[in-house]
Amino acid sequence: MQTVNKGIEPQLFEEIISKSFNAPYHKLLNFELMELGRGTAVVEMAAKKDVENALGIVHGGATASLCDTAMGIAVRSLGAIPTTVEMKVNYISPGPMGERLRATGKVIKAGGSILVAEGEIYCNKRLIAKSIGTYFDLRKQK
């Protein structure tokens, strides 16, 4: 599926897809960037055997990674070069295997060097997790 551009400058959009989003870790977890807007991102993951835990559900680490990626890409859409400073995840429901998980990331505060974003993961209409993350813009590093 092709990523939908919801208002990002074309050069930044292409850079995010080719460099920021095509990282080996994203490929390992089968992440797909579905939508990208200014301060927002939608990332999906097919819950395959690779991310199953001993209970037969999606491992919490994969869920956290999906939240972090959606929030980080939302931050990146503002032109920042983000690195995660802190992140909190509330696991609401187990992530079922064999389904697609859809994460949305949204920047809620863009400061000078620190940005804050929130994320949610859904499977169909059921909320799986909510998160909040703080990101440092590496462009501001001295």
Stretch (H or E) spanning 74: helix 60-76
**Domain boundaries in the chain?**
4-140
Q: Is the pLDDT of residue 1 over 70?
A: no
- List, in sequence order, every beta strand (DSSP E) within the chain: 4-6, 31-37, 40-46, 82-91, 100-110, 114-123, 126-137
Which tokens sit at 98?
A: 């064999």
pTM comes to 0.95
- Cβ neighbours, 10 Å, residue 12: 17
Give per-residue pLDDT as tens, 103-112: 999 999 999 8
Report whether CATH 3.10.129.10 matches the domain 4-140.
Answer: yes
Q: Per-residue pLDDT tens for 67-101?
A: 999 999 999 999 999 999 999 999 999 999 999 99
Reported confidence tier of residue 140, pLDDT bands at 50, 70, 90? confident
* pLDDT (mean) for 23-28: 90
